Structure 1
Amino acid sequence: MTADTNVLLRTIVDDDEAQTTRAVDLLETADMVAVSLQTLCELVWVLRSRYGADRADIAAPLRTLLNTSNVVVNRPAAEAGLSLLDAGGRFCRWRHCI
């Protein structure tokens, strides 16, 4: 399966019990979960702009996602983004992304 921003967001913010349960079930039961870099960038942007999350509160769930055995992502690029985020830079190169 390919996870979009909304599926990942539901598992992180847990703001709707039914949607969170469904998203977690989808991710846990999938043999493989593909996550695009665009999805990660959108996730970072939504967490920051809509939920006011700080860098540490954004980095932690991203690291958990990267360390999940069934998740497939461009790890070098995602880890580079996390390093930049940790250093106070932008996770991605979009103008509105942190």
Structure 2
Amino acid sequence: MIGLDTNVLLRLYLADDDSQWDSARRLVETLSEARPGYVNVITLIELIWTLRKRYAISRERVLDLVSGLLESRDIVLEDEALVEIAVDRAAGLSGELPDLLIALRNGEAGCRVTMTFDRKAAQHFPGMELLT
């Protein structure tokens, strides 16, 4: 298994740097079910936030990207079951996927609630509560 950093995934998705895109593409072409790429949850959240906030990629396109990663036989996502639940729930809710992932992961860790200053997250995601 080979760990994949956020910048590798970004270059691959955005194709905004020919040299780095080519290197990332060649790396991904070497991945297989027996020798997959690994994306941890921190990398996934960083990828999503960067695409949404820096590149203004739509929420729907980001959900499609994460769904594609979930379906790939050449990529292993950390806590894949939780990511799948988050993607399924996010499709029917407003708000950002990273916030939902945080709330779900904290719930699994035994947190009764996740406190936040993010009004949108607190309004849309069960398990998040606005700190006032």
TM-score by length of 2: 0.65
The amino acid of 1:76's aligned partner reads A
Q: Does 1:35 align with 2:39?
A: yes
Provide the C-alpha distance between the structure 1 equivalents of 2:74 and 2:63, rounded to a whole number of angstroms: 19
User: What displacement does 1:89 show?
Assistant: 2.7
Counterpart of 2:88 in structure 1 is: 83
Provide the C-alpha distance between the structure 2 equivalents of 1:54 and 1:9, rounded to a whole number of angstroms: 15
The structure with more strand, counted as a fraction of residues:
2
Q: Deviations over 1:39-88 (max 9, x none)?
A: 11000000011100111111112111221112111211111221243222
The amino acid of 2:70's aligned partner reads L
Q: Which has the higher contact order (CA 8 A, sep 6+)?
A: 1
CA root-mean-square deviation: 1.9
Q: Does 1:67 align with 2:71?
A: yes
Structure showing greater Rg = 2
Of all paired residues, the percent bearing the same amino acid is 31
User: Gaps (5+ residues) in structure 1?
Assistant: none
